[in-house]
Structure 1
Amino acid sequence: MKKGLITCLTLLLCAGLFAQDSTETEQKGKFKRENIFLGTSLNLGFASRSFNVGLNPEIGYSINNWLDCGLAFNVNYFSQNASDYDPTRYRNFNFGGGTFLRIWPVSFLHLQVQPEYNWINSSQKVGSQPSVTYHFNAASLLLGVGYGTRIIGGQYQYITLMIDVLQNANSPYRDSYNDPLPVFRAGFGIYLNKKH
């Protein structure tokens, strides 16, 4: 229930913000095609005995000079090798989606909030026993800070470091001890052209 509420509130916030003006010189509430952007980010997470890599396409809208919001999708692969403390080897594949807010307090620095919902296929193997496959789902809330540049109406690129702050043990961004894994994302994209 709490996860659904977070996702709904974020979607409502994004919908309300789409109607706002991004410059003071134009009419209030006017939607601008050149503020729509398409892009993707690559994510990379690693820790002792674990590895995470993924692709995250996104579509969004620059509300103004300091705020972006939109929809993000993901495809991830996660692996964790066995150790002396945990004899299980994990191989997870997940896909999902959610919303995001990117706040630019200064032109080169941003804060990101990204609630997601993921569907996970997990293969687990203990020692020489056969692998066992599980299917489950999990909500995540990624929070982070990043560095980048963006020119509304042109292009953007950024690097972001995030962690999953929810305590869901099934999250693709947590290890087998339920500790958060750092998630690095390098994103880039373009804005749509003005309508002629």
Structure 2
Amino acid sequence: MNKCVLIIAIVMGISLSGFAQMDNREAEGPVGFDRSRIFIGSSLNLGISNRFFNVGVNPTIGYSLNNWVDVGVAMNFNYASQNASVFNSYKYKNFNYGGGAFLRFWPVSFLHLQIQPEYNWISSSRTDPVSGQTTRLQLQAPSMLAGIGYGSREIGRQLSYFTIMIDLNQAVNSPYRDGIAGDPQPIFRGGLGFYLNSKKK
């Protein structure tokens, strides 16, 4: 874990403590394993910037430990493209799939902080618009996504969220970074989920 990730983790921890002081939700004690706390769902992610486009889907399965924390695993399937420019004469297209774990904090009922390490396998193509020649590559890269979001969550019933994240890792081949300058691209994810054995009102 690099220094940047460590600093972000510390700041998130301090923020979580501060928000917890202001939240009047009733504290929960350990309840043991509860199948109704398992949730499944999916999110759609979208990333757009100058010359860059990313879209994907992210199926998830998780468990709500208490009123504050969700943990789980997620898969991802993404498509990204980057157009040629005056700084780079090639056009890139990438398809990647991967998976990892996520940790989501809910310091207040409508706000969450998320960190999500992933590992990605990437099929990449680079095309010269002038000659039409295409080079294909098979790549791999780790990612460390972190961000903040807005959502609604009723344990035992349903959840929805909208999250903005960036890749804190500096892997050159990351599907969430500009392929030319290596700058992180903002990732927008909106998702829905429901709990198993959802409680009826």
The verdict on a shared fold, with TM-score over 0.5 as the criterion, is yes
Secondary structure at the counterpart of residue 187 of structure 1:
strand
Which position in structure 1 is the counterpart of 2:9? none
Task: Identify the residue that residue 53 of structure 1 maps to in structure 2.
Answer: 55
In 1, the alpha carbon distance for the partners of 2:109 and 2:31 equals 23
Instruction: Say if 2:198 is the partner of 1:187.
Output: no
**Counterpart for residue 18 of structure 1:** none
Give the count of matched residue pairs.
174
Structure 2 residue matching 1:169: 3-state secondary structure: coil
Q: Which runs of 5+ in 1 are unaligned?
A: 7-21
5+ residue gaps, structure 2: 6-26
Find out whether 1:164 has 2:164 as its counterpart. Answer: no
Structure 1 residue aligned with 2:154, among 138, 151, 156? 151
2:102 is aligned to 100
TM-score, structure 2 as length reference: 0.83
When normalised by structure 1's length, the TM-score is 0.85
List structure 1 runs of 4+ shifted beyond 4 angstroms. Answer: none
Aligned residue for 2:173, secondary structure, equals coil
**Percent identical:** 56
Name whichever of 119-128 and 184-193 sits farther off.
119-128
3-state DSSP class of the match of 1:34?
helix
Deviation track 1:140-169 (CA, whole Å, cap 9, x = no partner) reads 000000000000000000000000011111
Instruction: Tell me if the contact between 2:43 and 2:192 (Cα under 8 Å) persists in the aligned partners.
Output: yes
The root-mean-square deviation of aligned C-alpha atoms, in Å, is: 1.7
The structural deviation recorded for 1:29 is: 5.3
For residue 39 of structure 1, the aligned residue among 38, 41, 48 is: 41
The equivalent position to 1:87 in structure 2, one of 86, 89, 92, is 89
- Structure 1 letter corresponding to 2:126: Q
